A = this chain, B = another copy of it.
């Protein structure tokens, strides 16, 4: 089954979030646990700063859940750096087991889905699922050295500097009423996009595929959700998604928001908005989670989206397939 259901409704107990100065100028600024004044986070390299942010998010999620590291059964995490070193080196500093996952910017939803599966099945009780990204480490790994000062095309997005994670637990261990009720695992969808600056267009077809599969498998209309939240399609990608779903007879115009589209106050060169694994990690775990806690949102379909490429695959002329994993979150 592409969609699986969690009868025991694992709960999101708490989240931990941190973001850079540019990110904190936007909607998430008032919601994150820590707003960085300097995106180096007192480290000597961007990669170390990214790793430190991720570690902070994990620790803060545990603290906010009123739990301890000893109680945590497992960390599920991944990131955009080669060989997911941010996640691996974060896991090194904890005593609990580590599951490394990767689906580009869809990694958070994959982590949540696996955490919910392990808890719902009775295998684990408390799992932290987290991810993050850093503009500067991503930029120099995927594109050009920062010092080169390349201009960016208008369809480009800006990798979010930030990290976010959630403490997910068996309902018997918590009084949280925010439940993960189902997960829809994404298929890899390739529309032949080859422009590495146009990730939104590369990912939108995958988001469409997963949303339609989810609605079909759960026999619901898009209206069943207060919010269909995609990961980091950006403004252009979000428009493409609305068009693609509309063509299939599904109207999400009124309840679809994209984390990448809302994360920045677009004032200079973010163009289509935010991207990166940290984009949905920060927006979902701070701004959206706060709304769930306050009851302003009751049913959210969170569809994180990932573009599957590397500098080598693009260099060898491959197109950019996309993937999207979805989880439904309900206040119960």
Q: Which residues of A contact B (CB under 8 A)?
A: 1-2, 4, 45, 47-48, 73-74, 78, 80-85, 88-89, 91-92, 94-104, 110, 114, 117-118, 120-124, 141, 185-190, 308-313, 316, 318, 321, 323
Q: Which 5 A-B pairs have the closest CB atoms?
A: A121-B121, A97-B185, A88-B308, A83-B310, A4-B123
Do the beta carbons of A185 and B74 come within 8 Å of each other?
Answer: yes
Q: Closest CB-CB distance, A108 to chain B, in whole Å?
A: 13
Q: Is the CB of B312 within 8 A of A85?
A: yes
Task: Choose among B73, B99, B186 the residue that contacts A98 (Cβ–Cβ < 8 A).
Answer: B186
**Between-chain CB contacts (< 8 Å), 11 pairs:** A2-B96, A45-B316, A78-B102, A84-B102, A85-B308, A88-B321, A89-B313, A94-B187, A99-B114, A100-B103, A100-B323
A123 to B74, CA, bound (A): 20
- Give the distance to chain B from A183, nearest Cβ to Cβ, in Å: 9
B100 to A1, Cβ gap below 8 A? no
Smallest CB gap from A7: residue in B? B122
Which residues from chain B contact A84 at a C-beta distance below 8 Å? 102
Whether B104 contacts A102 by the Cβ 8 Å rule is no
Q: Of the candidates B101, B122, B309, which one forms a contact with A99 in the assembled complex, judged by CB atoms under 8 Å apart?
A: B101
Please give the distance in Å from A200's CB to the nearest CB on chain B: 18
Please judge, given known A-B contacts A310-B82, A312-B85, whether A190 and B97 are in contact too, CB under 8 Å.
Answer: no
User: Once the chains bind, are B185 and A92 in contact (CB under 8 Å)?
Assistant: no
* Given A308-B83, A312-B81, A313-B85, also A99-B92 (CB < 8 A): no
In the assembled complex, the CB of A124 is this many whole angstroms from the nearest CB of chain B, namely 7
Contact A1 B187 (CB under 8 A): no
Distance between Cα atoms of A89 and B321 in the complex (Å): 8
Knowing A1-B123, A83-B309 touch, does A101 contact B98 (C-beta < 8 A)? no
Determine whether the beta carbon of B89 is less than 8 Å from that of A48.
Answer: no
Known: A102-B101, A185-B97. A47 touches B316 (CB 8 A): yes
A207 to chain B, nearest CB (A): 14
